[in-house]
Structure 1
């Protein structure tokens, strides 16, 4: 029998918990986490479920507790009938539409709408199925950039998770070279499997995706493939601020940076860090409590 730990809390608390779990390099990949709206009539009440392979250990309980600020919400254990608990975690994850992209889990049919790119992303150990407001917002921002005439020949997706944003960027700019990275080793097989599932070629040539495991920009492949004219980073506010100088150093002149994973309340601090690095705001999207920023190098910098 498998188990889950369930937490009911305000939507913002659950979204913050999901973002913290995604950013935790020591997170146990066997503890699969999902978040969802409990009742359409109460959109601000959400639930986080953490699926366990056995009866929840104290370490697993503590891991879930660390995702929340005090006062800690109640964590309730539930014994589940025999089932594929990863598949169970995907139930209720409806497809999303962001820009020209339709993103779904395998239990939903593909979209055949003309002009729409369908991506199938299983919800498993890696972050970035499109369900989170930050990922969906990045998809919408990338689509808007393409419609405004942005050209990208060399792309980096830092903190790629499932690979979805890198896949989307390659769809928009199919002749570009793309490099994706993540700090979590579990993302390497996840990206490889998702690339095969979605027909995205892997490799180190134009039109292909080069995937590496790295912390920030500290990787030979990331350095060798620079400079980038488009860099995407959907992580968290603190690492975005810390990485501002490294991101700026890896960019081509007048390059574009898309940032997400930051709350609206954190936006001013993030923008200040990138202003010091020579970047100005080109456009922004807010999706719920989250900001998605398009920054561009200041002319003459």
Structure 2
């Protein structure tokens, strides 16, 4: 078993955002490190931290690469520690308290009690992110719940960058006769989502009330094209990939369809909305959960010769390197 190491450096929120959007030359390492950024002091954008997890002790060159990407860390001594021979992703999520978002109660342990009147969802700590604790995932759950309370009806749902499958499962609870498609760029996330589907009583498959799972970057998969157009699409990833994917995500949404976006920070929202407005989407709702907004957009119907063309493979349907919260 390869020994894992953690490298910690201080950073600013702006630097954390930049790392989330582009790992730079770190992405060329074999294997690349996993980066996690966190806020150290609430409402202080200059007090953030990046933790880089490496398989094997990082080289001097790798440490220098990371530090070069964080200008504010110049002159700071990196903190390097060897981790126990355990799964650090699982360890990082152990002991998380259940959360309530809308009508949903998301727990990581099967024996956690579920309050009466709430919909239970079980997402164990594991290799994929999206256990509900992050504000972006909770915001998506709240937005889905709000859609249902407003009387929205959806029959063909997609969850792009699904992570653990949580948002797809929640959507199927709200619209149990819908078709559901979930995808992620990470094969491990798709495998975890399949396991979580079984835990939550969601059947795999392509029928109503079932979920189809695919490994895909963005919507770059033939099955995702065949199952389009979607009347509800959820994408909880990062601002950079969301902007890059605006043409291809919009193209697979039905006219009048709904798009829920998350994974962006408040000061990135205008850029994300502008990218989708250029594709014929309009903002209809927003939930702010701390610094993390969740956006709901609707696709404008287009009539006649200006009707948009369907997206085809190769037309900006891929955003390599993104993940989900």
Q: Provide TM-score, normalisation by structure 1.
A: 0.82
Give the SS at the match of 2:263: strand
User: Which residue is 1:72 aligned to?
Assistant: 73
Distance 2:13 2:95 in 1: 16
- Backbone CA RMSD of aligned residues: 3.4
Look up the match of 1:95: 98
The answer to whether structure 1 residue 182 and structure 2 residue 184 are counterparts is yes
Q: CA deviation at 1:207?
A: 0.4
Distance in 2 separating the partners of 1:85 and 1:241? 31
Larger radius of gyration: 2
Partner of 2:320 in structure 1?
A: none
Contact 2:11/2:73 (<8 A) preserved: no
Q: CA deviation at 1:233?
A: 0.8
Distance change (3 Å), C-alpha of 1:135 and 1:19: farther
**Offset at residue 154 of structure 1 (A):** 0.2
Question: What is residue 204 of structure 2 aligned with on the other side?
Answer: 202
What CA deviation, in whole Å up to 9, does each residue of 1:43-66 have, x standing for no partner?
Answer: 996655455555445576478658
Match of 2:146 in 1: 144
Give the Å deviation of 1:242. Answer: 2.5
Query: Could you tell me how far apart the structure 2 residues matched to 1:25 and 1:136 are?
Result: 29
Of 187, 193, 203 in structure 2, the residue corresponding to residue 191 of structure 1 is 193
SS at match of 1:186: helix
**Cα separation, partners in 2 of 1:61 and 1:202, compared to 1, 3 Å:** farther
Alpha-carbon spacing, 1:178–1:81, altered in 2? closer, same or farther (3 Å): closer
Following superposition, the deviation at residue 280 of structure 1 comes to 1.2
Q: Which is strand-richer, 1 or 2?
A: 1
Q: TM-score, normalised by structure 2?
A: 0.77
Question: The residue matched to 1:282 in structure 2 has which SS?
Answer: strand
Q: Look up the SS of the partner of 2:209 in the other structure.
A: coil
Distance 1:81 1:158, change over 3 A: closer
Helix, strand or coil for the counterpart of 2:163? Answer: coil
Query: Alignment partner of 2:206: what SS?
Result: coil
Write the distance in 2 (CA, Å) between the matches of 1:91 and 1:19: 27
CA contact 1:154–1:228 (8 Å) conserved in 2:
yes
Question: Hey, what's the Cα distance between the residues in 2 that align with 1:59 and 1:177?
Answer: 48
Q: CA deviation at 1:250?
A: 1.3
Shift of 1:202: 1.0
The correspondence of residues 1-301 of structure 1 with structure 2, limited to 5 A, is 3-7=5-9, 49-52=51-54, 54-57=56-59, 61=63, 69-72=70-73, 75-81=78-84, 83=86, 85-106=88-109, 109-298=111-300
After superposition, what is the alpha-carbon deviation per residue over 1:146-171, rounded to whole angstroms, capped at 9, x for unaligned?
11111010001111111111111111
Q: How far off is 1:138 after superposition?
A: 0.8
With 284-293 and 29-38 compared, the bigger mean Cα shift is at: 29-38
8 Å Cα contact 1:25-1:183 kept in structure 2: no
Given that residues 11 and 70 in structure 2 are in contact (C-alpha distance below 8 angstroms), is that contact kept between their aligned partners in structure 1? no
Cα displacement (A) at 1:284: 0.3
Task: Structure 2: give runs of 5+ residues left out of the alignment.
Answer: 304-325
Q: Is the 8 A contact 2:6 2:81 kept in 1?
A: yes
Gaps of 5+ in 1: none
Instruction: Indicate how the Cα distance of structure 1 residues 239 and 43 shifts in structure 2: closer, same or farther if over 3 A, else same.
Output: closer
